[in-house]
Structure 1
Amino acid sequence: MSDKKKDPIGFSFAWNGIREVARTERNFQIHLAATLLIIIAGFIFQLTRLEWAILFLVIGLVLVAEITNSAIEKIMDHLKPELDPSAGVIKDIAAGAVLVSAITALVVGLIIFIPKLYVLL
């Protein structure tokens, strides 16, 4: 019985974290806007189930990378509020993970959408 009480609490903390990132992090907001546009494009181009699955995997990859990057930045700002070169490198590495995931998502999106756009021409 006590396990059931812990699950909603953990979920609510996680949901609060997602809401906080969506509310305060500009890059996350940009990724959410891009996600919305991609979903709309997916409906317009009538993606297959496999294409949807692949898109949602790479979208999730980017959003998770951005959330992780935001958490790392906040941790570093808390631990090292003054300018610190090593903290800057840590933040840069986390930002690099977001960039790699975003480039991966872009390439996957191009692979899926370019043939569909080509058919229209």
Structure 2
Amino acid sequence: MASFGYALQGIREALLSEPHLRFHALATAAVVALGFWLRVPRHDWALLALAVGAVWTAELLNTAVETIIDLVSPDFHPLAGRAKDVAAGAVLLMALAAVVVGLLVLGPPLWAKALALSSQR
């Protein structure tokens, strides 16, 4: 049980200290709200949950990598910079993949809803 508490504390600390993670939290809230509004089916929720979870996981791992590098290499070192850049690249790649998933899942029903709303005018 204590392990869950430590894990939740780690997420909390990352949310408080990492602006990018707060952006991901806002994006997650927007995706969830849009999903409810569009009434996406259960299998689409699974895809959205996997995409959101993957982005959060990548961001948390990036935060852990950067924290460890700052601990062991407080002064600039090219390899430390490279490791941080690669970890950040992993987050970027996962975020782009999540955007694609979001467009594929939410795009068609959003487009249909927009057409329906525009035809009512």
TM superposition score normalised by structure 1: 0.92
Choose from 14, 30, 54 the match for 2:47: 54
Runs of 4+ in 1 over 6 A off after TM superposition: none
Aligned partner of 2:58 among 57, 65, 74: 65
**C-alpha displacement of 1:104:** 0.5
User: What is the number of equivalent residue pairs in this alignment?
Assistant: 114
Q: CA RMSD of the aligned region, Å?
A: 0.7
**AA matched with 2:48:** L
**Unpaired segments of 5 or more residues in structure 2?**
116-121
Counting only pairs closer than 5 Å after superposition, residues 1-121 of structure 1 correspond to structure 2 as 8-119=1-112, 120-121=114-115
Q: Which structure has more RCO (C-alpha within 8 Å, separation ≥ 6)?
A: 2
Where in structure 1 are there 5+ consecutive unaligned residues? 1-7
The code of the aligned residue for 1:109 comes to G
**C-alpha separation in 1, matches of 2:106 and 2:6:** 36
Give the drift of 1:71. 0.3
Normalised by the length of structure 2, the TM-score is 0.92
